[in-house]
């Protein structure tokens, strides 16, 4: 029961174009190089983002075939479920992550997404980790053959780093609690108390006389 990309692409590709357009706006907003928006629109929607989804469908389908005893009985149900699965921005975020050249596909997250959406139950022997590994190999081959992706990938990695730093700063601020305002009155009283009487003894050994 191979799930063919062509069988679900008509529904998924328009969603990918909108998803990519949203990312283009994000790049243009957070990057100093506004030309990246145009580059992202040109490179990702019609070619790369579609290709990584096609690669995932291929790996998902092969794993499903190897784990099922009677694949033809539920072929249509799995195809429809996978189509809906790919129409989720969080899933697309996960599929796109390995494009930065460093991250791996978070198969545990995808497994939780699948279970959380209550799609048709996957076979007991379905191995998400193997899907992630073979998908990662496909992405590496794609990156090696496509030099146009590099500036976009660098911008995406920069955005992820900035967002992670921002999240860390917010967390630290919460742990530190509310900042205290400087108490100028209390500071003035402390200075007055400390220096109201000048201690001249150390300057002259005969100060007592």
The domain total for the chain is: 1
With a pLDDT cut of 70, the percent of the chain lying above it is 63
Which domain range does residue 150 map to? 5-168
Residue 197 maps to a domain = no
CA–CA distance from 45 to each of 48, 156, 188 (Å)? 7, 15, 63
| pLDDT tier at 77, thresholds 50, 70, 90 | confident
Helices and strands, counts by H and E, the chain: 9, 0
Cα separation, 7 vs 174, whole angstroms: 48
Residue 204 maps to a domain = no
Q: Of 9-13, 164-168, 204-208, where does mean pLDDT reach its minimum?
A: 204-208
Chain position carrying tokens 């990662």 = 136
Cα separation, 21 vs 126, whole angstroms: 33
pTM assigned to the model: 0.62
- Mean of all residue pLDDT scores within the chain: 76
The 10s digit of each residue's pLDDT in 7-36 is 898 989 888 888 877 776 666 665 555 555
Residue 209 maps to a domain = no
* Mean pLDDT, residues 95-107: 82
Residue 45 maps to a domain = yes
Residue 101 maps to a domain = yes
Residue 194 maps to a domain = no
């Amino acid at each position: 029961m191979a799930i063919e990309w062509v069988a679900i692409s008509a529904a998924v590709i328009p969603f990918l174009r909108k998803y990519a357009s949203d990312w283009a706006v994000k790049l243009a907003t957070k990057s100093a190089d506004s030309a990246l928006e145009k580059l992202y629109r040109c490179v990702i929607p019609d070619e790369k983002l579609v290709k990584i989804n096609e690669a995932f469908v291929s790996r998902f389908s092969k794993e499903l075939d190897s784990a099922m005893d009677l694949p033809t009985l539920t072929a249509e149900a799995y195809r429809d479920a996978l189509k809906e699965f790919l129409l989720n921005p969080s899933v697309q975020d996960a599929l796109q992550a390995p494009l930065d050249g460093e991250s791996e596909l978070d198969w545990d997250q995808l497994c939780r997404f699948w279970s959380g959406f209550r799609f048709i139950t996957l076979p007991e022997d379905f191995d998400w980790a193997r899907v992630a590994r073979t998908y990662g190999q496909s992405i590496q081959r794609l990156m090696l053959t496509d030099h146009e992706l590099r500036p976009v990938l660098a911008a995406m990695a920069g955005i992820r780093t900035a967002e992670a730093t921002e999240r860390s700063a917010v967390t630290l601020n919460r742990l530190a609690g509310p900042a205290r305002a400087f108490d100028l009155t209390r500071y003035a009283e402390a200075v007055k108390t400390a220096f109201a009487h000048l201690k001249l003894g150390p300057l002259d050994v005969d100060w007592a006389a």
